[in-house]
Amino acid sequence: MFPNNLFSILLIFVTFQTNKAFTFPKFLDLNLSWRNCGPSADPIQLNSLSITPDPIRIPGGFNITGSAAVTVQIPTDVHVSVTLERKVGPFFVKVPCVDNFGSCNYGNACQLWAEYCPKFAARFGLPCQCPIPASTYSVSNANVVIDKSVPPELLGEYRATVDISSSQSHLGCVFIDLTVKK
């Protein structure tokens, strides 16, 4: 849920899910799509994002590849707002924030990033401290291993909006649509 680029946020989001308790093997078809949802002038723009293979086998591993352009130095006072919704019948319902997962606001994104980056993202060459320098950040075939299976009640269609801002300006926004199915 952190500022250096939208790809990193997605990487951390997926990585956090590896810590959940799951127990049975299945193939999961992700049907991932994404788009930038802020103005084209936003200084953080996701250029690409893919997860392979699709479907993925859970438990098992998959690779994340992506890049994001960061055109200004990202300051230390970054706020990230995540809205996560799950499709229930014909409607999308907001998933509440529970234990920093779901539709949450992170007013201390740089502090959280500094805590989690060394463990999950530093190995991909991503900076772990704010301010984050302007650059293009890329990750190629970042392997994520999920050693437990997804329970059936978590299967379904999800969409998330990740909005990033600072006290001075809006920094970026990405919308992700993801279906988790057997």
- Tens of each residue's pLDDT in the chain, 182 residues: 444 334 444 444 443 333 333 333 455 566 789 999 999 999 999 999 998 887 777 677 889 999 999 999 999 999 999 999 999 999 999 999 999 889 999 999 999 999 999 988 898 899 999 999 999 999 999 988 888 877 888 888 899 999 999 999 999 999 999 887 76
Q: Is residue 1 in some structural domain? A: no
Q: Is residue 121 in some structural domain? A: yes
Q: Is residue 29 in some structural domain? A: yes
Q: Is residue 101 in some structural domain? A: yes
pLDDT of residue 28: 59
Q: Is residue 89 in some structural domain? A: yes
Could you tell me which residues come within 8 angstroms of residue 46 by beta carbon, excluding any fewer than 6 positions away? 5, 6, 7, 34, 36, 66, 67, 68, 172, 174
Q: Is residue 73 in some structural domain? A: yes
Q: Kindly report the CATH number assigned to the domain that includes residue 166.
A: 2.70.220.10
Residue 130 near residue 106 (C-beta atoms within 8 A): no
Q: Range of 170's domain? A: 6-180
Number of structural domains in the chain = 1
pLDDT of residue 18: 35
Classify the C-alpha dihedral 49-171-108-163 as positive or negative.
Answer: negative
What is the reported pTM? 0.80
Q: Is residue 112 in some structural domain? A: yes
